[in-house]
């Protein structure tokens, strides 16, 4: 007994009904959500990584990626709104943030630019915005952003997607009630933006709270999307096709009316804008009817604050259209936005979200139909109007998947959905093979074991279809209406289909009805063939499970070979799925009663209870694994064979809605699941040791004997087996002939292109040979010119060296003289300062003695005062202790008196209770007598009551009318009170803002006055310092001037060196060209040497036949034909002269380049030494200047300290004591 391991491998699907469903992590990785997982899809390797939700999560509601692409936040719906932060490198959960209100979900969220903070917006009924420091799991601030009651929230869409509020479900009468998007200012983490239906609010985090600012005075709209630009502006899209551009302070700068002409209607129509993203040149917006528009900035200026766009209609099929005319501009500003391109997504559904890669090369969008489309923006500039959106990976289902089946001999899965499509998937290559749309919905689907046919159940008929190379075509129809379940047998010779509460069995080859299985009273929901096709297990909504034995299905017995061997009926349970072991002895069924049942011999042998309803169950073909699917979308790997413990399973997160089908591949390597959320999951199955499960034996089909009657059919199947092993597929004859004719035409075209290319190559060779000759002559002339230039530069260099040496000698002498003068001056100053220091040191010793005598006197006075205080407080302490003893004696006396009083009070209370008891018993007897008398009077009053009841009913009708009128008036009063409360709140907020501004102005004024006082003091100090610094600054300016002159001279040498380096680089290029020619010559010489060696070997073989003239003659002829016939033309003398001249010139150039290289290296060494020496001298001078400045500053400080000391001595010992 063991539990099989399940690993996510691939998923086909998308969950679009969440906030920010798609993001780029890098140039090759895209993040999106599917079911109950977040998917990381690599566009190059086509692989996926999975981030599952937490336990007890009901679905993903929002998603956000951090600015550094390191973390992702996933919003989850549960008992309380939650947000999980995951590390994208390790795929581990870092933190879990849980909201505090009654809301069960976060409808949107966003990271700050530095990835340290997160804002989350909860849904109904709270609509609270939380500001988190997510690494500490701390709420820094929270504020209520909307006030829509819970009854106005949108219901969860089909498929169990998160119940986020749709943009179209809230009308104009509910303005201010729903939030769609929140974001951070990319340059300021304390500024937030919130938009919704009638909501555009800016908040700032300050003083531990979120405070609104920049209240809008314009008429509220249904704001659907927004984005921050790179220059701190906010672009907002509305439902009525307006693009509003605000400054970061909330000031409206621009209003663009985005209208477009649809192909179906010539008049311009508005389009709701559901997504906006910025990019380096402007912004990109998208919305209804599948449009995606690119707006760029231009430098034109205009005086109009609001401009309407004038544009042409987009081309069909998603072609881009170049736009002309200015779209919008700020009043008096320079930023003008112009629409440069517009694309249309092929399905023309609503574009929900967009994501742009970091390099701005790729744009990915998600549409309302759960599809992902992509376009390469770089190619749009080259292709122009031919650019259009392509599917990002594969087209997905966009509705609940109702049917699923897998093939035995090919790695194929077939699915059908309520979106009226049938799709064929390859689960090994993780690709979509075929997609076919039908005019009506397909209810069920099954694929033949050969992978060449499929069964599809429609509302009117059941159709058997061929799977062609690029199409699905029907070739047989059966009159079965609304077939909800159909299955091929494992051998493929039969198929069973459900018609209401009857199961019909047909032959796959002659399409005969071999029998009908009748017995269910309700709709049949499950059909299962055993491994050898000898039995069928059916389950229905009537609570019945039947085991049918198929003994003779030749069709001659009229269905007599079908026998019902077992049955299990439980009317309290509606079964949805039932499977059996390979031998058919045990049946496992699930239904609406939250249990998994094991049925043996028509009896329920074991029941495993579950906390949720189980919808599907599947067994592996090896009989060693069992998996079940639940209504919560999870898949459980059960311990098999089943035990008594209900908790023996492993649960895996997969879908966000109830699972509709579970299938296992024929080799038991893969598990497939489909759900109402439109996703198809592929799982890799392995045992606990990591090994895949393999088949133990081959299945022998029960009806192989019957095939002998259909020999032609058997031969046909064998041909198909060969066809399948070669990975081929059915193709119609017309398609094959068309492709053959196309191939012959293409071959002819290829031959023509080859001939044309050869002719073009010959022409190019001739042109290149002529150009080579011209380039060679040009290079020879340049070499001569470079020789002359090199000689001139050498002469100039020698002259500059002589002049530089003379100037450096003069500079050294001047520097030595200045150094001696400075040393003499500073020595004299140093002696004077040392004398002052000796005087101050003596004065310091005298002051130290006076200070020590004063300290001893103060210590004696302190000890005397402390002794007096200690004696005084000890006397007081003894007095207080005596008072405490007296008060305790009084308290004990009062306690004894209180106990005596309590005892007397309890005795008096008992006596009063007995007296009251006797009195009330007498009153009870009197009341009973009065009750009997009142019963008689009651009969009389009942008659009067009946007469008055009619009058009361009449009055009630009148009161009801009055109450209705009162209710209407109360409604009007409440609406007016709400308006008054809103206005009062707005006035209060504005008053608070004004008070804050006034307080800030007062503080700034006060600070300004202090700064002015400080400025006056600093100005005075600066003037004093300037008078002291001016003499030194003159000296520094002189030295700076000298340094500048030396820098100019050094720059001159650098320029000369750079010119020489350029010349050397040119010569190196020419040298490399010569070296390539030498390499070619060496190759030719090597080839000649190899030919000579071969000739020697062949000649040695001929010498062996020296005694046989005829044989020797034949071998010599062969040698002549082999070596001399192709080289009988002698080399001309002119060619030899050319080669000799070429070699001589090459040798000369090599010697010239070598000499130039040696000279350049020598010159570089000399220049480097000079530069290092000059820089060292400059550094020494600067250090000396800095040292002199520090000495001067220290001398002045010592001088001031000495002056202070002298003044203190003159003031006498009394002043010194006062300072101490």
* pLDDT of 456 strictly over 90: yes
Q: Which helix (H) or strand (E) holds 1154?
A: helix 1133-1211
Q: Please state, rounded to an integer, the average pLDDT across all residues of the chain.
A: 81
pLDDT class of 330 with cuts at 50, 70, 90: very low
Q: What is the pLDDT of residue 711?
A: 38
Three-state secondary-structure class, residue 569: strand
Q: What is the pLDDT of residue 300?
A: 52
Q: What is the pLDDT of residue 698?
A: 43
DSSP 151: G
The tokens describing 878, both together, are 């003894």
Q: Cis omega before residue 125 (within 30°)? A: yes
* pLDDT of 701 strictly over 50: no
pLDDT class of 554 with cuts at 50, 70, 90: low
Q: What is the pLDDT of residue 812?
A: 85
* pLDDT of 1013 strictly over 70: yes
pLDDT class of 173 with cuts at 50, 70, 90: very low
Instruction: Quickly count: other Cβ atoms within 10 Å of residue 73's Cβ.
Output: 25
Q: What is the pLDDT of residue 470?
A: 82
* pLDDT of 551 strictly over 60: yes
pLDDT class of 29 with cuts at 50, 70, 90: very high
* pLDDT of 270 strictly over 80: no
* Lowest-confidence segment of 140-144, 749-753, 1057-1061, 1201-1205 by average pLDDT: 1201-1205
Three-state secondary-structure class, residue 763: helix
Question: Which tens digit of pLDDT belongs to each residue from 377-433?
Answer: 876 665 555 678 888 888 899 889 999 999 988 899 999 999 999 999 999 999 999
Write down the residue that tokens 């081309």 correspond to.
Answer: 315
Mean pLDDT over residues 905-930, rounded? 80
Question: Which tens digit of pLDDT belongs to each residue from 1160-1179?
Answer: 888 888 888 888 888 888 88
Q: Which helix (H) or strand (E) holds 507?
A: strand 502-507
Q: What is the pLDDT of residue 424?
A: 94
* pLDDT of 1069 strictly over 60: yes
Sheet of 199-206: strand order equals 179-185, 188-196, 199-206, 209-213
**Phi–psi pair at 147, nearest 5 degrees:** -140, 35
pLDDT class of 217 with cuts at 50, 70, 90: confident
Mean pLDDT over residues 885-890, rounded? 81
pLDDT class of 580 with cuts at 50, 70, 90: very high
Q: What is the pLDDT of residue 1145?
A: 81
The tokens describing 835, both together, are 């004398």
Q: What is the pLDDT of residue 261?
A: 55
| Pairwise CA distance, residues 661 & 606, whole Å | 23
Mean pLDDT over residues 1128-1134, rounded? 51
Mark 938-970 as b/e (b = at least 16 C-beta within 10 Å). Answer: eeeeeeeeeeeeeeeeeeeeeeeeeeeeeeeee
CA distance readout (Å), 475 to 260, 452, 465, 466, 511: 45, 12, 6, 7, 11
Long-range contacts formed by 807-812: CB under 8 A, 24+ apart:
807/1049, 808/1170
Does residue 405 contact residue 445 with C-beta atoms inside 8 Å?
Answer: yes
Question: Which tens digit of pLDDT belongs to each residue from 603-650?
Answer: 888 888 888 999 999 999 888 889 999 999 999 998 888 877 766 888
Mean pLDDT over residues 274-286, rounded? 91
Question: Which tens digit of pLDDT belongs to each residue from 716-754?
Answer: 444 444 434 435 677 777 777 788 888 888 888 888 888
| Pairwise CA distance, residues 705 & 271, whole Å | 67
Burial of 919 (0-12, 13-18, 19+ CB in 10 A): exposed
Instruction: Quickly count: other Cβ atoms within 10 Å of residue 193's Cβ.
Output: 23
Q: What is the pLDDT of residue 727?
A: 54
* Lowest-confidence segment of 533-537, 760-764, 1109-1113, 1209-1213 by average pLDDT: 1209-1213
The tokens describing 76, both together, are 């989850």
The tokens describing 1133, both together, are 């003398």
pLDDT class of 344 with cuts at 50, 70, 90: confident
| Pairwise CA distance, residues 24 & 355, whole Å | 6
Q: What is the pLDDT of residue 506?
A: 93
The tokens describing 458, both together, are 């429609």
CA distance readout (Å), 951 to 217, 937, 947, 962, 1083: 58, 22, 7, 17, 129
pLDDT class of 527 with cuts at 50, 70, 90: very high
Mean pLDDT over residues 818-838, rounded? 84
Most confident range (mean pLDDT) of 60-69, 389-398, 935-944 is 60-69
Q: What is the pLDDT of residue 192?
A: 93
pLDDT class of 158 with cuts at 50, 70, 90: very low
Instruction: Quickly count: other Cβ atoms within 10 Å of residue 210's Cβ.
Output: 22
pLDDT > 70 in the chain, percent:
86
CA 532 to chain CA centroid, Å, is 49
Q: What is the pLDDT of residue 683?
A: 94
Question: Which tens digit of pLDDT belongs to each residue from 291-316?
Answer: 899 998 876 544 343 333 333 333 33
Question: Which tens digit of pLDDT belongs to each residue from 950-995?
Answer: 788 888 888 888 888 888 888 888 888 888 888 888 888 888 888 8
Does residue 437 contact residue 448 with C-beta atoms inside 8 Å?
Answer: no
pLDDT class of 488 with cuts at 50, 70, 90: very high
| Pairwise CA distance, residues 328 & 1037, whole Å | 57
Does residue 668 contact residue 692 with C-beta atoms inside 8 Å?
Answer: yes
Q: Which helix (H) or strand (E) holds 5?
A: strand 5-12
Mean pLDDT over residues 1129-1153, rounded? 72
CA distance readout (Å), 567 to 519, 605, 1171: 10, 14, 105
The tokens describing 1196, both together, are 């002045």
* pLDDT of 71 strictly over 50: yes
| Pairwise CA distance, residues 583 & 530, whole Å | 7
Q: What is the pLDDT of residue 333?
A: 44
Three-state secondary-structure class, residue 857: helix
Name the residue with higher pLDDT: 300 or 1013.
1013
Three-state secondary-structure class, residue 466: strand
Question: Which tens digit of pLDDT belongs to each residue from 785-813?
Answer: 888 888 888 888 888 888 888 888 888 88
Q: What is the pLDDT of residue 9?
A: 93
| Pairwise CA distance, residues 908 & 910, whole Å | 6
Sheet of 595-600: strand order equals 575-580, 586-591, 595-600, 603-609
Mean pLDDT over residues 750-765, rounded? 87
Three-state secondary-structure class, residue 792: helix
| Pairwise CA distance, residues 1101 & 1095, whole Å | 10
Q: What is the pLDDT of residue 309?
A: 38
* pLDDT of 693 strictly over 70: no
How many residues does the structure list for the chain? 1220
Mean pLDDT over residues 26-36, rounded? 91
* pLDDT of 329 strictly over 70: no
pLDDT class of 262 with cuts at 50, 70, 90: low
pLDDT class of 323 with cuts at 50, 70, 90: very low
């Amino acid at each position: 007994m063991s539990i099989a391991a399940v690993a996510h491998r691939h998923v086909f699907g998308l969950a679009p009904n969440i906030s920010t469903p798609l993001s780029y992590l890098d140039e090759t990785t895209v993040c999106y959500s599917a079911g109950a997982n977040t998917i990381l899809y690599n566009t190059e390797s086509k692989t996926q990584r999975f981030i599952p939700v937490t336990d007890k999560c009901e679905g993903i509601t929002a998603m956000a990626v951090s600015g550094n692409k390191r973390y992702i936040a996933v919003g989850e719906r549960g008992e309380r709104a939650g947000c999980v932060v995951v590390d994208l490198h390790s795929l581990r959960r870092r933190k879990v943030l849980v909201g505090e209100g009654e809301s069960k979900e976060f409808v949107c969220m966003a990271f700050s630019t530095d990835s340290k903070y997160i804002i989350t917006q909860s849904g109904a009924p709270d609509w609270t915005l939380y500001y988190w420091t997510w690494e500490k799991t701390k709420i820094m601030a929270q504020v209520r952003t909307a006030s829509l009651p819970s009854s106005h929230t949108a219901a969860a869409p089909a498929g169990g997607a998160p119940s986020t509020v749709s943009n179209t479900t809230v009308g104009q009468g509910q303005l201010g009630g729903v939030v769609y998007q929140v974001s951070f200012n990319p340059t300021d983490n304390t500024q937030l933006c919130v938009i919704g239906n009638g909501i555009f609010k800016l908040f700032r985090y300050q003083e531990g709270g979120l405070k609104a600012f920049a209240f809008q005075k314009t008429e509220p709209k249904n704001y659907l999307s927004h984005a921050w630009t790179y220059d701190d502006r906010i672009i907002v899209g509305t439902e009525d096709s307006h693009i509003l551009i605000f400054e970061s302070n909330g000031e409206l700068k621009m209003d663009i009316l985005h209208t477009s002409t649809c192909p179906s209607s010539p008049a311009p129509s508005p389009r709701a804008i559901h997504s906006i993203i910025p990019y380096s040149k402007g912004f990109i917006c998208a919305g209804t009817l599948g449009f995606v528009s690119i707006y760029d900035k231009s430098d034109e200026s205009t005086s109009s604050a609001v401009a309407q766009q004038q544009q042409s209609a987009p081309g069909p099929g998603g072609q881009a259209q170049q736009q002309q005319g200015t779209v919008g501009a700020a009043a008096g500003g320079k930023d003008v936005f112009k629409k440069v391109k517009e694309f249309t997504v092929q399905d023309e559904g609503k574009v929900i979200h967009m994501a742009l890669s970091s390099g701005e090369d790729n744009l990915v969008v998600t549409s309302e139909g759960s599809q992902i489309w992509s376009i390469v923006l770089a190619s749009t500039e080259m292709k122009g109007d031919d650019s259009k959106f392509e599917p990002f990976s594969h087209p997905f289902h966009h509705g609940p998947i109702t049917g699923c089946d897998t093939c035995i001999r090919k790695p194929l899965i077939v699915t059908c959905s309520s979106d009226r499509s049938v799709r064929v998937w390859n689960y090994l290559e993780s690709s979509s093979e075929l997609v076919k749309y039908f005019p009506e919905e397909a209810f069920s689907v099954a694929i033949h074991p050969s992978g060449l046919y499929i069964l599809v159940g429609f509302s009117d008929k059941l159709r058997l279809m061929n799977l062609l190379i690029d199409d699905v075509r029907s070739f047989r129809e059966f009159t079965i209406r609304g077939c909800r379940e159909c299955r091929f047998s494992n051998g493929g010779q039969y198929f069973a289909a459900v018609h209401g509460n009857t199961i019909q069995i047909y032959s796959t080859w002659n399409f005969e009805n071999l029998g009908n299985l009748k017995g269910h009273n309700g709709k049949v929901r499950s059909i299962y063939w055993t491994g050898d096709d000898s039995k069928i297990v059916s389950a229905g909504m009537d609570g019945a499970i039947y085991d049918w034995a198929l003994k003779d299905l030749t069709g001659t017995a009229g269905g007599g070979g079908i026998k019902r061997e077992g049955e299990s009926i439980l009317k309290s349970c509606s079964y949805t799925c039932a499977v059996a072991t390979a031998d058919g002895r045990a049946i496992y069924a699930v239904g609406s009663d939250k249990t998994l049942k094991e049925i043996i011999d028509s009896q329920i042998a074991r029941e495993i209870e579950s906390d949720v309803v189980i919808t599907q169950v599947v067994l592996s073909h090896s009989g060693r694994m069992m998996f079940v699917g639940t209504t919560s979308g999870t898949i459980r790997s059960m311990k098999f064979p089943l035990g008594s413990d209900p908790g023996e399973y492993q649960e895996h997160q997969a879908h966000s809605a109830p699972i509709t089908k579970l299938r296992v591949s024929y080799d038991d390597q893969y598990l497939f699941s489909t759900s109402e959320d439109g996703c198809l999951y592929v799982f890799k199955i392995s045992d606990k040791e990591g090994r895949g499960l393999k088949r133990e034996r081959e299945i022998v089909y029960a009806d192989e004997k019957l095939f002998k009657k259909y020999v032609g059919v058997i031969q046909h199947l064998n041909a198909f087996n060969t066809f399948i092993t070669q990975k081929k597929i059915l193709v119609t004859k017309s398609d094959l002939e068309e492709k053959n004719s196309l191939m012959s035409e293409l071959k002819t075209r290829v031959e023509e292109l080859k001939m044309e290319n050869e002719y073009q190559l010959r022409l190019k060779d001739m042109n290149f040979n002529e150009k080579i000759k011209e380039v060679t002559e040009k290079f020879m002339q340049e070499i001569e010119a470079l020789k002359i230039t090199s000689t001139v530069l050498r002469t100039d260099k020698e002259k500059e060296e002589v002049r530089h040496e003379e100037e450096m000698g003069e500079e050294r002498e001047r520097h030595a003289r200045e150094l001696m003068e400075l040393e003499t001056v500073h020595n004299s100053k140093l002696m004077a300062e040392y004398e002052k220091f000796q005087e101050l040191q003596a004065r310091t010793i005298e002051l130290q003695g006076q200070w020590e005598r004063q300290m001893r006197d103060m210590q004696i006075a302190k000890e005397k005062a402390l002794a007096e205080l200690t004696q005084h407080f000890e006397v007081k302490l003894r007095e207080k202790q005596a008072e405490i003893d007296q008060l305790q004696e009084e308290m004990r006396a009062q306690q004894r008196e209180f106990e005596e009083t309590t005892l007397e009070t309890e005795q008096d209370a008992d006596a009063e209770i007995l007296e009251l008891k006797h009195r009330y018993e007498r009153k009870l007897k009197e009341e009973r007598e009065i009750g009997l008398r009142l019963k008689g009077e009651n009969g009389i009053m009942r008659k009067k009551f009946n007469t008055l009841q009619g009058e009361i009913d009449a009055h009630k009708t009148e009161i009801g009318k009055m109450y209705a009128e009162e209710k209407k008036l109360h409604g009007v009063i409440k609406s007016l009170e709400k308006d008054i409360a809103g206005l009062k709140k707005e006035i209060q907020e504005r008053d608070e803002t004004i008070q804050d501004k006034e307080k800030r102005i007062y503080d700034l004024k006060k600070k300004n006055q202090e700064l002015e006082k400080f400025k006056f003091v600093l100005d005075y100090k600066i003037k004093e310092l300037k008078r002291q610094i001016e003499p030194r600054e003159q000296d520094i300016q002189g030295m700076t001037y000298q340094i500048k002159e030396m820098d100019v001279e050094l720059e001159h040498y650098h320029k000369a060196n750079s010119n020489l380096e350029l010349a050397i680089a040119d010569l190196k290029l020419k040298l490399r060209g010569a070296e390539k020619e030498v390499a070619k010559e060496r190759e030719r010489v090597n080839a000649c040497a190899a030919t000579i060696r071969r000739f020697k070997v062949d000649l040695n073989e001929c010498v062996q036949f020296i005694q046989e003239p005829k044989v020797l003659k034949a071998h010599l002829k062969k040698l002549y034909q082999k070596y001399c016939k192709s080289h009988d033309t002698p080399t001309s003398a002119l060619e030899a002269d050319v080669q000799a001249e070429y070699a001589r010139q090459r040798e000369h150039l090599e010697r010239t380049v070598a000499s130039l290289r040696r000279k350049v290296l020598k010159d570089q060494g000399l220049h480097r030494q000079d530069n290092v020496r000059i820089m060292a001298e400059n550094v020494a001078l600067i250090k000396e200047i800095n040292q002199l400045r520090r000495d001067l500053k220290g001398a002045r400080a010592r001088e001031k300290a000495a002056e202070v000391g002298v003044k203190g001595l003159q003031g006498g010992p009394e002043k010194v004591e006062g300072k101490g």
